[in-house]
Chains A and B, each alone.
Chain A
Amino acid sequence: MTSTAHRVDTPAAPTRVSRRRVLGWGGATALVAATGVLSYRAYDTAVLDPGGGPAHAPWRHWRDLPGPRGAVAAAILAASPHNTQPWEFAVTDRSIDVFTDPLRHTGSVDPFGRERYAGMGCALENLVLGCPPGGLAPTVTLLPDGPAGQRIAHVELTAVAPRTDPLYAAIDRRHTNRGPYAPSPVPPAALAALGDLEPPEGLSLHWIADPRPRAELGGLLVDAAEALVADEQQSLDNFAWFRPDNDAEQRHRDGLVLDGQGFSPVQLAVAKLLPPSSRTAGDRFWVNATRDVHTATAAAYGVVTTSAPDDRRVQLDAGRLVQRIHLRATAAGIALHHMNQITERIDREAATGAAATFAPRFAALLPTGARPLLTFRVGHPVRDGRPTPRRSIAMVTR
């Protein structure tokens, strides 16, 4: 057999292109162009790398540092209002001074700075928990320069044998969970186990788990959210801490981010691929989520109360208490979400001299004389909370 070569599949290029062919390839081109735009959004928002980048590195490397800096690495992973991280640290081998940064505030949302000091308490609690694994025993002096001083704590360190704590082990798994919670209730014994056996002086923890008061508090939270977004200054001050894209998140390494909104993976991808939402759209989303997700699926609410909500020491202790509760909840597989819009409205009404509408409604749900300081919901999570961006130790040490 002779070996011959022949050409196959050789139609000559058509000189005239059919209209159907043009429309078909025009449509395909448009589809590829749209895919290209979405691919650029996927690149720009790092949708393939949620929780990645330098803004999230402190969550991955917090155990790497020895001694006092290791304790600071634990402190910067604490909760804070709107993730403002209002802290600074001065570190030596024998002590750590903890300062509050007055410029990192939420303005009219927290006019008396109560949440900011509670956030400082959260960081202080993590710092204290972070000392023993590094072979350090902390002795805390609160407000060494008085209530008006920016130094909120002096922590003296002495050498001891290293030891670990279950709460320390939960530090990098603790995230505010704004997603839906499962319908199963959290038993009263489990709720009680989240609090301290002996709460700090001047503070009480109340659980609101029965359906009727829980529904009433849920309604109050929705009303407070609506009032807050209707108050333009509070809405603006809220929005100032929203980081709409990956670039802002990595640059600022603080604030509210899409990853922290409790979305499912698909919801999160859609939210990132869409253009950033406006302030009013974000406000509407928050009110709807408060009504349809946060309050609708809360198994119980915890309220930290005091008779002296303006006392800075009490605010710091309240923050430390809530941080411990959150860490215990994390260790027990229970989700927690800080929800302070009612007290934010109470303080806003007080600061502007408006008639008090939220204070009496909240007081009706609490024991006589108890004034609310911090509020949160708990429940069994449908999905895990996600880490939020953090400033590095180098960025927060003096």
Chain B
Amino acid sequence: MTRGRVAAGLGTAGALLLGVAGLVQATLGAVIPDWTGDKLAPVGLGLLTVGLAGLALVAARRVRPPGLPPGRRAAWALGLAGPGLLCLSTVGVLAWVPAALLVAAAALTVAGGARESARAVAAQWPRVLLSALGLCQLLMAAAAPPWLTAIGAVSGVALVLAAWLPARTGVLVALVLLGTAPLAIVGWFALVPPLVAVVALPIAAVVLRSRPTATVSNTGKGV
């Protein structure tokens, strides 16, 4: 059995168990708090966990074929390990087994070419950092009043898109501004949103300067 097949098997099992844990949290979280982390909002966290399980399942299905490019392999490994680690804070003890399976699957996914994967990630490091800041926006927005949650969600998604979207410079600049300014302005009193903007802007400038090679025609339009 290839390493990819084992990783896919472990990842699938972990994702399915995580989905079950999420459903248990959503339906019985308040009844068995010792097992589910005694959360204040078990329904919301349970549904979030089901969503994370879905992401992990997609990742588990993609790591199977051999010969994946190192960058893609690293990305899918993150898709396995990320939900596995995050769910430790959403479903309490119920997450221990699925988290272990998912992290093991992630480790197996990159084990064959760890150096190449690391190199691929390092080559995209500014984008990784900018995406991480977008996730910071999403995290903060999760504990905000609804109107601020909406602004934070748009900001977070905009920063992640600015990091990876192959678009024109003007569009990317707009995405960076959308990803930083609105939440920094309306959430100034919390101090962290302006800090995220201050940290994100120079990193975004580097990302914009070192965009992947764009092929342009002599008409000046991107193709």
Residue numbers of A with Cβ under 8 A of B are 1, 3-10, 13, 25, 28-29, 31-32, 35-36, 38-44, 46-49, 52, 246-247, 250-251, 265-266, 268-270, 273
Contact in complex: A43, B143 (CB < 8 Å): yes
Which A-chain residue is minimally distant from B38 (CB atoms)? A251
Complex Cα distance A46/B219, Å? 51
Digit string of B124-147 for contact with A (CB within 8 Å is 1, else 0)?
011001001101110111111100
Which A-chain residue is minimally distant from B151 (CB atoms)? A48
Residues of B within 8 Å of A40, CB to CB, are 139
Contact in complex: B218, A31 (CB < 8 Å): no
Binds A, one of B64-72, B106-114, B184-192: B184-192
Contact in complex: A10, B213 (CB < 8 Å): yes
Quick one: which of B40, B190, B217 has the most chain A CB within 10 A? Answer: B190
Complex Cα distance A206/B125, Å? 68
How far does the Cβ of B178 sit from chain A's closest Cβ, in whole Å? 18
Complex Cα distance A142/B152, Å? 52
Contact in complex: A42, B190 (CB < 8 Å): yes
Contact in complex: B40, A4 (CB < 8 Å): no
Interface residue range, chain B: 35 or more
**Which residue in B139, B195, B203 is a CB contact (below 8 Å) of A43?**
B139
Interface members, chain B 161-212 (any A CB < 8 Å): 187, 189-193, 195-196, 199, 203, 210-211
Contact in complex: B143, A46 (CB < 8 Å): yes
Contact in complex: A8, B214 (CB < 8 Å): yes
Residues of B within 8 Å of A1, CB to CB, are 218
Contact in complex: B191, A36 (CB < 8 Å): no
Known: A5-B223, A48-B148. A251 touches B132 (CB 8 A): no
**Which residue in A38, A44, A247 is a CB contact (below 8 Å) of B195?**
A38
**Which residue in A5, A6, A13, A32 is a CB contact (below 8 Å) of B199?**
A32
Contact in complex: A32, B217 (CB < 8 Å): no
Count A-B pairs with CB separation below 8 Å.
104
Contact in complex: B129, A269 (CB < 8 Å): no
Whether B118 is near chain A, meaning CB under 8 Å from some CB there, is no
Whether B1 is near chain A, meaning CB under 8 Å from some CB there, is no
Residues of A within 8 Å of B145, CB to CB, are 48-49, 52
Residues of A within 8 Å of B192, CB to CB, are 35, 38-39, 41-42, 47, 269, 273
Which B-chain residue is minimally distant from A47 (CB atoms)? B190
Q: Provide a sorted-by-A list of 30 A–B residue pairs whose CB atoms are within 8 angstroms.
A: A4-B217, A5-B215, A5-B217, A5-B223, A6-B215, A6-B216, A7-B213, A8-B216, A9-B213, A25-B125, A28-B126, A29-B125, A31-B199, A32-B203, A35-B136, A35-B192, A38-B191, A39-B136, A39-B196, A42-B139, A46-B143, A46-B144, A48-B140, A48-B190, A49-B145, A52-B144, A251-B40, A269-B189, A269-B190, A269-B191
Known: A46-B143, A48-B140, A48-B141. A35 touches B211 (CB 8 A): no
Contact in complex: B143, A49 (CB < 8 Å): yes
Residues of B within 8 Å of A39, CB to CB, are 136-137, 139-140, 192, 196
Residues of A within 8 Å of B214, CB to CB, are 8-9
**Which residue in B129, B148, B213 is a CB contact (below 8 Å) of A49?**
B148
How far does the Cβ of A367 sit from chain B's closest Cβ, in whole Å? 46
Contact in complex: A35, B196 (CB < 8 Å): yes
Complex Cα distance A266/B192, Å? 11
**Which residue in B136, B148, B152, B213 is a CB contact (below 8 Å) of A36?**
B136
Whether B123 is near chain A, meaning CB under 8 Å from some CB there, is yes
Residues of B within 8 Å of A25, CB to CB, are 125-126
Known: A4-B218, A48-B187, A49-B145. A42 touches B203 (CB 8 A): no
Contact in complex: B190, A43 (CB < 8 Å): no
Digit string of B77-103 for contact with A (CB within 8 Å is 1, else 0)?
000000000000000000000000000
Residues of A within 8 Å of B133, CB to CB, are 32, 35
Contact in complex: A48, B143 (CB < 8 Å): yes
Complex Cα distance A3/B211, Å? 24
Complex Cα distance A52/B126, Å? 35
Contact in complex: A3, B218 (CB < 8 Å): yes
Complex Cα distance A46/B218, Å? 52
Contact in complex: B189, A3 (CB < 8 Å): no
Residues of A within 8 Å of B143, CB to CB, are 42-44, 46, 48-49, 246
Contact in complex: A5, B125 (CB < 8 Å): no
Contact in complex: A35, B195 (CB < 8 Å): yes
